[in-house]
Structure 1
Amino acid sequence: MLTFPTLSRSIALPTGRLDITVEEAAWPLDDLCDFAARENPRRGFLVVSRVLGRHLPVAPRVMRRSVRDLAARIPADLPGPVMVVGLAETAVCLGQTVHEELRLASGRDDIHFIHSTRQRLDHPLLCRFEEPHSHASAHLIYRPALPRPRSLVIVDDEISTGTTLCNLARALVEAWPEVEAIVVATLTDWSAGRGWQARMPRPARVASLLTGRLAWTQGQAPVADAAFDMAAASLGRMDAHRNFGRLGLDAPVADPPSAPLPPVAGPLRIVGTGEFTYLPFRLAERMAREGHDVVVQATSRSPARVAAAMKTRLCFADNYGTSVPNYLYNADPADRRTTWIGHETGAATIDPALIAALDARLIGWDA
């Protein structure tokens, strides 16, 4: 695999200055990520992935290639069973695709998957942990009906301080003391020199496509909004639910949409919603194989300013039924793409304002 030279860069954002140093990279920095200003007094910047299919539209072949390269850096001989854990909401699709690639590459059938969630279900809880820099800090992990793991592969899109990863690993090891080894798989690792691996409850290593350092100089911080923080911290409630990963999977899920797909001519955008992103990505891969020009992106709970990597922003109601504002970035109706919105929550839950803004069709995997 090619490696790219070290570099340093200073990035001016409306909320402050980000100084970055890339120390080692299997992909060029500008192919992997961009940066944006975050509306959060606890953390004023956002690393915006160019390969994740969340804040920026991405061709599914690029998403697949980046995950394949990342999965290839994870040791193949981890003690089994192995549990791949994706972090909501941003890394659900990433984690699920890592799980798929690990099984394909190794031929092992003892590699399983689960993701954290901010949705309450009628199911026993395994553990809860906190993501301190996020508005919505609480994550839930439900107890899967799967063998207890000896290895964990924790998947997130980027590492900054490592605190969230330590919180998650401690919670999982307390629930599963048989765990012997931990791998953290991430697209970009900015935690060099922070020493967080020494705080992990078991020996831990990192697999990434880029490692480096970042230093944040806060500028004018947003004023804390207690009402917004209370809303953002709220958990959703799913009374009807199909298991697409929240309750654990012993093999990759490949469910088709609930109804036939509408006809499409010309370029296509497929939008996942919140934590429901893997099956919209798989649908995008299918449409690309059929010859369509298709990109993938997803809605987000993360409030960011229209500046730097964020060229446009739509704001609308949360389809999971909380009072948390949701956003879709860089989905410009002027690009004349047909838009399909993939959801697991029922057509009536999708804000009509979002549908109208993109003249979108709804594609459901309803419970």
Structure 2
Amino acid sequence: MQTYNISDGLQVKVRIEENLCQIPADMLFSMAARKNRKRSFLFVSKILGKHIPVSPSVMMLGGMSLAAMYHENLSGADNSRSRDIIAALKNGRPPDAAYRAEAAKRFPLSHPTLFMGFAETATALGHTVFESFSGNAAYIHTTRENLTDAGNTIAFEETHSHATSQRIYPLNCPLLASECPLVLIDDEITTGNTSLNTIEAVHAIHPRKKYAVLSILDWRSRENRAAFAEKEKALGIEIRTISLMRGTIEVNGTGLLRNPSCPTGFQTQGKHRGIAPTVEYLRLDSFFNEYLSYTSADSTGEENTTPYIRHTGRFGICSEDNQCAEAFLKNAGEYLKQFRQGGKTLCMGTGEFMYLPMKIAAHMGDGVLYQSTTRSPIHPRDTEGYGARNRLMFTSPDDPNLLNYLYNIPFGAYDDAYVFFEREVDKERMIPLVDQLKTTGIRKIFIVICSKNWDALPTPEHMGSYPPEDVVFLLRDVSDLIQEQGNEERERAIQSGVHYSEMIPIEYRPSSEYMRIFHDSMGKYNEKIAIATGIVSEHIIRKRGRNIVLVSLARAGIPAGVLIRRYLKHKFGISIPHYSISIIRGKGIDENAIRYILKHHPKLELQFIDGWTGKGSITKELNQACEAFEKKWGIPLNPDMGVIADPGYCASLFGTREDFMIPSACLNSTVSGLLSRTIHRTDLVGEDDFHGVKFYKELIDEDVSNLFVDSVAARYPAVVEKTEEGVRIASETPVEVSWLGMRDVDRIRKDFGIGNIHFVKPGIGETTRVLLRRIPWKVLVAPNAKNLDHILQLAKEKNIPIEEYPLSAYHCCGVIRTLRKKS
């Protein structure tokens, strides 16, 4: 038995009964007094990375040792692996090398298993246990976060804690609802009541037969252990208990320190007098690629809408996802390493955000120690062997009603410090923490933000020539920052590898003959467009309902979005919000714009709109973008795009599949609200900006944007019967997304030796655009194709040859050929 005289009036006697790996007690913990009426002392872990700074590798070896013991217990193997891992901690080998050697030998699991760590202290411990298995596992940790917009919550109490309420949000954790074994992980169990409360809460909703409780230390009394046996019998379950060290404790006294010998904070003195550390803010949100958008509220009711990082495990994570995280955590660590000021660095997690900062710290080089802020109020005492030699106390950045603490930071011990926050909070809330760190003699303090607060999204600029009720443009006006380039110059740049979105063409000024063709086409086709618009609008309402927001894809989708919005107003009397955003082939959709819409219309579903389909490149891009957005933000988007015409047979929501002349395809900005095609260049568009666009204010006298949509919308009352007939016929015809147009594209590529699929521009709309913006080699026209007057006029003006070619889905196709390099 070992006696710890923790403070005046507080004594704890420890009797170790089981220590399979023969670990010295002082390697695992020291003792301290804490301000807690339920339990006045604390076992301060030396391998947990919470109150005492440790090497990240020590933390990971600690978790791996528990994983080894669990695996050995399950399989009946001897304790050789756990002994080897503990030996790596004991024998003085560099912990990084020891961890790398052991991490290469992860443990197998024969059946799916869910691991659960307890907040706030054991979130990283639980995660390191989980990651020690090669697969077939999932992890989730409890939390004290209060989410305002997440259901499916399991709540329980941590009876001895200073912050008793715990929650489980299994929002990304299907294994919790299964019958697989549940393994609970905590740093220490004294009574085991928290574990039993958790088992009871989970079992009431998702019963299973097998549970396990893993801990570094197990101090349960005989009565406490009997309570586990009673719970097993009452619920008909099995509970395995596994720990690195097991024993019993005897407590004498109350433990309240009357006169702490170490004050809170530090006093700068001696050679450090006058040191004023600098503070720098760094962002890591570009390294993390998956978020979950939930809102939390603090004790004052103030909400934080900053997304959570998926890979923390708070909402659930599987083995495969965890392995994918290794690469970006390594990259983040190497990025932060370049800012280090010297050879001694302290990295700090905040609250229950422990695992990811610890893993990042492991990649920041030698001389890095790690610990975390905590809610646990420990009495400091500057005595050798005591668990809290000094203390920093400050208001929590996450909640002004809570106090947080940091312990054991000797004055002048570090050259720099990195404080990691999962979610961005107001800088003013960080001041108390930063002020306390400034008293430690640290020369440079880095505040590292891992998830950006998207409330700071840009405000939409008023632009374009449409009435504001028709469309809101989520685009950034970069008119004064970009120069137009000629078609040949752009073509050579594109073919040499420059992305098309980084340039804009010289705006085509149509000839009087071409404008005559445009006006004639409105007379010929506006009724057909009105009918097609009505049909696709009816399909949208039938399939998606009325709780939608229209999201047109700039720029061809802008007039289509305006027309659909006006039809819905005319037919159903509803004013649907309409935004126009950017999507760029090869770069995806503007996520800032999507998040702006979701923030302002949280209860509406997004309905994407475009004018027509060509070979389906944007359809594919939208599908990929929606998948990527859901993976990154945890928010599903419906990629089922609505178009007026779908000659490519690659959309399921369409007005017609005829390849006909849509007048809005004939012109550029002057029929699309005076906007250019969208722009994405890093020197023009920042990470917090919407994608860019040029607004041609100077062309207002030539603008026919409103003339076009007004003339089409004016036909709605006259085409009611034809629209209804079209909807009836469509409802009786199975919709097949066959990608029929790709047969034409593939044949053209083969017949003309076109290597790049993007050099084939099928359909009237795409052929028109290639004639306006690019340098086509030739235009292919289907036999007996009619109503191509504007195509023929443009080809004539630009000296582009016309060639007859058998097309099945389209009436025409523009073909680009590789330009010869200038010598």
Q: What is the match of residue 216 of structure 1?
A: 251
Secondary structure, in 3 states, of the residue corresponding to 1:274? coil
Q: What is the match of residue 229 of structure 1?
A: none
Q: In structure 2, do the counterparts of structure 1 residues 222 and 334 end up closer, same or farther at CA, with 3 Å as the change threshold?
A: closer
Q: What is the match of residue 403 of structure 2?
A: 325
Give the deviation of 1:347 after TM superposition.
5.5
Letter in 2 for 1:209: L
Secondary structure, in 3 states, of the residue corresponding to 2:412? helix
Give the deviation of 1:284 after TM superposition.
1.7
Structure 1: distance between partners of 2:244 and 2:29? 11
Q: What is the match of residue 156 of structure 1?
A: 186
CA contact (8 A) 1:138 1:233 kept: no
Q: What is the match of residue 144 of structure 2?
A: 118
CA contact (8 A) 2:391 2:405 kept: yes
Secondary structure, in 3 states, of the residue corresponding to 2:69? coil
Give the deviation of 1:245 after TM superposition.
1.6
Kindly provide the CA deviation profile for residues 324-355 of structure 1, in whole angstroms up to 9, marking residues without a partner as x. Answer: 10000112232134110011121635522322
Q: What is the match of residue 217 of structure 2?
A: 188
- Relative contact order, higher structure (CA 8 A, sep 6+): 1
Q: In structure 2, do the counterparts of structure 1 residues 238 and 175 end up closer, same or farther at CA, with 3 Å as the change threshold?
A: farther
CA contact (8 A) 2:257 2:379 kept: no
Letter in 1 for 2:389: K
1:239 maps to 2:270: no
Letter in 2 for 1:219: T
Kindly provide the CA deviation profile for residues 234-271 of structure 1, in whole angstroms up to 9, marking residues without a partner as x. Answer: 99964323222221111324454599425112111100
1:310 maps to 2:388: yes
Choose the corresponding residue for 2:31, options 30, 35, 42: 35
Structure 2: distance between partners of 1:21 and 1:351? 43
Q: What is the match of residue 639 of structure 2?
A: none
Secondary structure, in 3 states, of the residue corresponding to 2:396? coil
Letter in 2 for 1:48: V
1:1-367 equivalences under 5 Å are: 7-14=1-8, 16-25=10-19, 26=21, 27-75=23-71, 76=74, 80-101=111-132, 103-104=133-134, 108=135, 110-121=136-147, 122-145=149-172, 146-147=174-175, 148-149=177-178, 150-177=180-207, 179-193=208-222, 194-195=224-225, 196-198=227-229, 199-200=231-232, 201=235, 202-219=237-254, 221=256, 238-242=304-308, 243=310, 244-251=312-319, 252=322, 253-254=325-326, 255-256=328-329, 257=332, 260-261=335-336, 262-264=338-340, 265-287=342-364, 290=365, 292-307=366-381, 308-346=386-424, 348=426, 351-358=430-437, 359-367=444-452
Q: In structure 2, do the counterparts of structure 1 residues 258 and 348 end up closer, same or farther at CA, with 3 Å as the change threshold?
A: farther
Q: In structure 2, do the counterparts of structure 1 residues 221 and 237 end up closer, same or farther at CA, with 3 Å as the change threshold?
A: farther
Kindly provide the CA deviation profile for residues 291-325 of structure 1, in whole angstroms up to 9, marking residues without a partner as x. Answer: x2111100000111002210110011212224110
Structure 1: distance between partners of 2:66 and 2:346? 25
CA contact (8 A) 1:119 1:238 kept: no
Secondary structure, in 3 states, of the residue corresponding to 2:402? coil
Letter in 2 for 1:263: F
Secondary structure, in 3 states, of the residue corresponding to 1:310? coil
Kindly provide the CA deviation profile for residues 83-129 of structure 1, in whole angstroms up to 9, marking residues without a partner as x. Answer: 1111000000001111101x23xxx3x31011111111221133100
Stretches of structure 1 lacking an aligned partner (at least 5 in a row): 1-6, 224-231
Residues 136-145 or 10-19, more deviating: 10-19
CA contact (8 A) 1:12 1:18 kept: yes
Q: In structure 2, do the counterparts of structure 1 residues 258 and 344 end up closer, same or farther at CA, with 3 Å as the change threshold?
A: farther
CA contact (8 A) 2:349 2:357 kept: yes
Structure 2: distance between partners of 1:238 and 1:62? 34
Q: In structure 2, do the counterparts of structure 1 residues 233 and 192 end up closer, same or farther at CA, with 3 Å as the change threshold?
A: farther
Structure showing greater Rg: 2
Secondary structure, in 3 states, of the residue corresponding to 1:11? strand
Structure 2: distance between partners of 1:333 and 1:151? 46
Structure number with the higher helix fraction is: 2
Q: In structure 2, do the counterparts of structure 1 residues 123 and 259 end up closer, same or farther at CA, with 3 Å as the change threshold?
A: farther
Structure 1: distance between partners of 2:201 and 2:65? 29
Structure 1: distance between partners of 2:46 and 2:300? 29
Structure 1: distance between partners of 2:398 and 2:354? 14
Structure 1: distance between partners of 2:252 and 2:171? 42
Structure number with the higher strand fraction is: 1
Structure 1: distance between partners of 2:185 and 2:46? 17
Q: In structure 2, do the counterparts of structure 1 residues 323 and 99 end up closer, same or farther at CA, with 3 Å as the change threshold?
A: same
CA contact (8 A) 2:212 2:239 kept: yes
CA contact (8 A) 1:81 1:111 kept: yes
Q: What is the match of residue 228 of structure 1?
A: none
Letter in 2 for 1:111: A
Secondary structure, in 3 states, of the residue corresponding to 1:286? coil
Residues 49-58 or 335-344, more deviating: 335-344
CA contact (8 A) 1:342 1:364 kept: yes
CA contact (8 A) 2:220 2:248 kept: yes
Letter in 2 for 1:364: I
CA contact (8 A) 1:183 1:205 kept: yes
Identity of aligned residues (%): 30
Structure 1: distance between partners of 2:159 and 2:35? 15
- The two structures, once aligned, show a CA RMSD in angstroms of 2.5
CA contact (8 A) 1:44 1:221 kept: yes
CA contact (8 A) 1:115 1:246 kept: yes
CA contact (8 A) 2:6 2:32 kept: no
Q: In structure 2, do the counterparts of structure 1 residues 166 and 123 end up closer, same or farther at CA, with 3 Å as the change threshold?
A: same
Give the deviation of 1:207 after TM superposition.
1.6
Give the deviation of 1:221 after TM superposition.
4.8
Structure 2: distance between partners of 1:67 and 1:136? 24
Q: In structure 2, do the counterparts of structure 1 residues 182 and 238 end up closer, same or farther at CA, with 3 Å as the change threshold?
A: farther
Structure 1: distance between partners of 2:116 and 2:54? 23
CA contact (8 A) 1:113 1:250 kept: yes
CA contact (8 A) 2:7 2:255 kept: no
Q: What is the match of residue 760 of structure 2?
A: none
Stretches of structure 2 lacking an aligned partner (at least 5 in a row): 76-108, 259-297, 438-443, 453-823
Structure 2: distance between partners of 1:164 and 1:118? 14
